Amino acid sequence: MTRSHWIIAIISVLYFCETSAQEKKWTLEDCINYAVSNNLGLKRQILQTETAEANLLKSKMDVLPSLNLGSDARIGFGRSVDPVTNLITFKQNISNSYSLNTNFQLFSGFTALNSISAYKFMFKAGLESEKINRNILIVDILGQYYHVLYARGLESASKLQLELSEKQHYRIVKLVETGKEALSKQFEIESQVSADKLDYTIAYNSASQALTTMKQMLQLDPGTYFDLAIPEMNSLLISDQSYDPDSIFSIASNVLPRLKAIEYELRASEKQISAAKGAIAPSLSVGGAVYTGYYKVLSGDTEEQVSFSTQLKNNNSQAIYMSLNVPIFNNYTTGRNIRIAKIRKNDAALRLEQEKNSLYTEIENACLDYNRGRDEFIAAQSNFEYNKKSFSAVEKKFETGLVDVTDYSAAKTTLFRAETEALRTQLQLIIRKLTINFYTTGEYENSVFNK
């Protein structure tokens, strides 16, 4: 094989690979996984959780002793004190000191321990908030995904209506050419074809807009090829299963992150009250320090001075201390902190109760909507099947001249409405079933991928 043949072969392979990659269609799982991994809002929420984790680590480190090393150097001019003789001197000198000190809080009203517990619950609340934001994102993706499916369904149904009209238009034109049909009938069917083309164009543009909106929600890079893989819609199984709101609420109240987040915030606020009350109690701390230094005269006639290392050794001193602090009056700072902590706790308790009431209402409505939607879907599917048979009969009569264009168009329009209504109720039922499954799992991934 010549060099040019190799080049052509490589270019062909690369082009095929690029074309195959561009033609990849996204499933619902692909959309959700990509959104969860790349959504900017969700990434910002993760950063907030990391901040809560850093606060938790800091609160744990606060119970450890502090250890600090210090050093300073100074050059003296004019009047100063000679640290060796403790006499007044006017000679220029340099001094250098070093210190190492530590401090440990023995007791502070258990403020540190309660703060650790509070930050731990706030961190857990942050993790649940991540799940809440992820679920909100998935809900938006789900809604738009099924909106695309519905728009595509309308587009497909409109296209079928147009094809039926074009089929009849072709037949009537041939009959007019042979003199078997009047020209007026051709004009009537052409009017119908024109109307169907308009409906199809509108449906096509709506589907394109829905797909573009989905792409924008995923925040894909400009120029990225994007299209959805349309699933098999006839695989939905309809059962006689009914849902009890009380039993679903009992499960949901234990698994949903929207409740868990508030519960953790409530427990954190309780610990914050205890931490604030700790400031009322006396605090006791112990510490220790090591000091040393060096001194040297820089000007004038001076005797031989002690070396740097010897001075550091000779000037070494140590100290230990214990500190007791009894709060008596601090301008109502502690009382204000306790009061605010109690207010936050009461607010969290009210929010939790309010969220439970709202959740129960949502679950009760979801169960009613599902049962009602199931009946509507079954009726719509049955109506669609009957209309297909009815339209088939009208189509045959139209081809034999027993009905006119008006009756044919009315039957076709009725069929189109029945088909779109069957699609609407089917997609609506899928979403309602996913919603109920979510209430029993706590995360939409479990509901979507295991439905």
| Cβ neighbour number for residue 130 with a 10 Å cutoff | 17
CA torsion angle for 149, 153, 156, 159 (degrees, to 10)? -130
Tell whether the torsion through CA atoms of 383, 388, 389 and 395 is positive or negative: positive
Containing H/E element for 289? strand 283-297
Contacts of 39 by beta carbon, 8 Å cutoff, 6+ apart: 137, 219
Residue at 367: amino acid letter: C
Give 308's Cβ-side CA count (13 Å radius).
Answer: 5
pLDDT reading at 427 higher than 50: yes
- Cα angle 392, 407, 412; round to 5: 50
**Residue 296 pLDDT greater than 90, yes or no:** no
pLDDT of residue 24: 79
Is residue 29 within 8 Å of residue 145, measured between CB atoms? no
User: With 0-12 CB in 10 A as exposed, 13-18 as middle and 19+ as buried, what is 348?
Assistant: buried
Q: What residues does 98 pair with on adjacent strands?
A: 71, 292
CA distance 131 to 380: 36
User: Does the reported pTM lie above 0.85?
Assistant: no
First CA to last CA distance, the chain: 54
13-26 pLDDT per residue, tens: 444 444 444 567 89
| Phi, psi dihedral angles at 307 (to 5 degrees) | -65, 165
Judged against a pLDDT cut of 80, whether residue 234 lies above it is answered with: no
143-155 burial by CB neighbour count: b if 16+ within 10 A, else e? ebbbbbbbbbbbb
For 236-277, the pLDDT digits (tens) are 556 667 788 999 999 999 999 999 999 999 999 999 999 999
Q: What's the mean per-residue pLDDT of the chain?
A: 87
CA 333 vs CA 36, 276, 326: distances in Å: 44, 10, 15
pLDDT digits (tens, 9 = 90+) for 60-118: 999 999 999 999 988 888 788 877 677 888 888 888 999 999 999 999 889 999 999 99
Confidence at 330, pLDDT banded by 50, 70, 90: confident
Say if strands 80-81 and 283-297 run parallel, antiparallel, or are unpaired. Answer: unpaired
397 CB-contact burial (10 Å; exposed 0-12 / middle 13-18 / buried 19+)? middle
Residues of the chain above pLDDT 90, percent: 55
Going by the DSSP 8-state scheme, the letter that residue 108 receives in this structure is: S
pLDDT at 4: 46
Q: CA-to-CA distance for 209 and 26, rounded, in angstroms?
A: 17
When pLDDT is averaged across residues 207-228 and rounded to a whole number, the result is 91
Are 124 and 271 spatial neighbours (Cβ–Cβ below 8 Å)?
no
Gap between the Cα atoms of 300 and 89, Å rounded: 11
What does the pLDDT look like over 106-115, one tens digit per residue? 998 899 999 9
Report CA dihedral (207, 212, 217, 219) to the nearest 10 degrees. Answer: 160
The DSSP secondary-structure symbol of 291 reads E
Instruction: Domains for the chain: give ranges and CATH numbers.
Output: 24-64+108-281+327-449 (1.20.1600.10), 69-107+283-326 (no CATH)
Whether pLDDT at 308 is above 90: no
CA dist 145 and 212 (Å) reads: 11
